[in-house]
Amino acid sequence: MLASTVRVTRDLDLAEECVQDAYVDALDAWTREGVPDRPGAWLTTAARHNALDALRRARTLRSKLHLLVEPEAAEMDTDTNSEPAGTDAPAYDDRLRLIFLCCHPALAVEAQVALTLRLVCGVSTPDVAKAFLVAEPTMAARITRAKKKIVTAHIPFRMPTAAELPDRLAAALAAIYLLFTTGHTAPSGAELGRTDLAVRALELARLLRDLMPDEREVTGLLALVMVNHARRSGRTAPDGRLVLLADQDRTSWDREAIAEADRLVVDAMRGGRPGRYALQAAIAALYAYAPSYAETDWPQIVRLYDALLAVWPSPVVALNRAVAVGMVEGPTAALRAVERLAETPRLAGYRYLPAIRADLLRRLNRREEAISAYREAQRLADNEAERRFLQERIVELG
């Protein structure tokens, strides 16, 4: 609804106001005349009317009301994304445009994520602030600054062209995934997860998949988010303690969601070299499908990590691969790989590196070294659940 109102106003603040006014109008009209057959359509129409009225009122201020788009000129070169002419294009196109607007690479990543929550998901600013553990005025300022840049720099409200699409889609996928990981493992604070954010990310990934069913990485992202979310209930004990994948109660996982994610993985892997999200989802699905940790298809996981490293050469991926290598070739081989990675400057301060090293040392009965590595991991952890888990390991060894 906001998206289709933006099309009329081309001004985000004005559009938000018009949508809010439409709700107020609805309250009044629906108590008088009853709820209409299609309340959503009623609201959208009302919001658009409000927008048109506002624009009429603002006509004298027109020069000040910057246009977000110049549809004719801007859409001339969108050859492979040709859109229906006129302003009555289907609402889903508007939502897609809104996602690409919010996730524009000219905006800072934290602003992209906040704007997407605010404008695409309709989460209130105080709730967005809470989700990211910042003060409400800070978040309000961040959102206002981003909106101001959109208007002042004329960031367009339109579909990226075919040439722009790969980069722009990557930015949108990264923003949604960041939203999910923020919700899935809150990097700070007392609770391990902030489920709300993860649920929002899942909704966004699903929406994007509905809108762009042929983009394999979109399918891959949805599968990845879905399979990780399906395992959420096993990740913490009732007292909030962190439970390792090896010790999780697999019967608590959402089997239906895992099966759906697995079907999506097959789609995402098909037809050419799979992308980063498809491969990550394939790995996560293999973990989820295994009857137990020990029975996981570790050789296949190592192969998938190799493919993932080829498309996304990240030291974090290499570290995860080392864990899988440990399951195939034993802890000595894995420790060698981890210690090589420890020299990578990009992994300095990465809390999972000493934690993984500690676990391998523990399995090799190198107690003293294991304890000191757990201590290092503990110093780097800023999440209470993780810190408690590491403390227990130290106590066990000591």
106 binds another protein (CB under 8 A): yes
70 binds another protein (CB under 8 A): yes
69 binds another protein (CB under 8 A): yes
152/188 with CB nearer another protein: 152
Least distance CB 63 / another protein (angstroms): 8
Quickly count: other Cβ atoms within 10 Å of residue 38's Cβ: 10
- Cβ neighbors of 280 (< 8 A, separation 6 or more) are 220, 224, 308
- Judged by DSSP in three states, 189 sits in strand
Least distance CB 64 / another protein (angstroms): 9
Q: Which residue among 74, 245, 342, 397 contacts another protein (CB under 8 A)?
A: 74
Contact between residue 2 and residue 19 where contact means Cβ atoms under 8 Å apart: yes
Q: Which residues of 189-207 are buried (b: 16+ CB within 10 A; e: fewer)?
A: eeebbbeebbbbbbebbeb
73 binds another protein (CB under 8 A): yes
- Judged by DSSP in three states, 38 sits in coil
156 binds another protein (CB under 8 A): yes
Least distance CB 99 / another protein (angstroms): 15
152/251 with CB nearer another protein: 152
Contact between residue 182 and residue 132 where contact means Cβ atoms under 8 Å apart: yes
Q: Hey, what's the torsion of the CAs at 125, 128, 130, 135, to 10 degrees?
A: -60
Least distance CB 61 / another protein (angstroms): 13
- Cβ neighbors of 1 (< 8 A, separation 6 or more) are 19, 22, 40, 43, 44, 47, 91
Output the six-digit token pair for 28.
């009044």
Binding to another protein, residues 161-180 (CB under 8 A): 161, 164
C-alpha 246/C-alpha 308 separation (Å) is: 23
C-alpha 353/C-alpha 318 separation (Å) is: 11
CA atoms within 13 A on the CB side of 158: 25
160 binds another protein (CB under 8 A): yes
Least distance CB 151 / another protein (angstroms): 10
Q: Looking at 20-28, 159-167, 227-235, 348-356, which segment touches another protein (CB under 8 A)?
A: 159-167
155 binds another protein (CB under 8 A): yes
175/224 with CB nearer another protein: 175
Least distance CB 69 / another protein (angstroms): 7
28/70 with CB nearer another protein: 70
Q: Strand pairing partners for 242?
A: 236
Q: Looking at 126-134, 153-161, 306-314, 362-370, which segment touches another protein (CB under 8 A)?
A: 153-161
Binding to another protein, residues 217-256 (CB under 8 A): none
Least distance CB 34 / another protein (angstroms): 44
Binding to another protein, residues 344-373 (CB under 8 A): none
Q: Which residues bind another protein (CB under 8 A)?
A: 69-70, 73-74, 104, 106, 152-156, 158, 160-161, 164
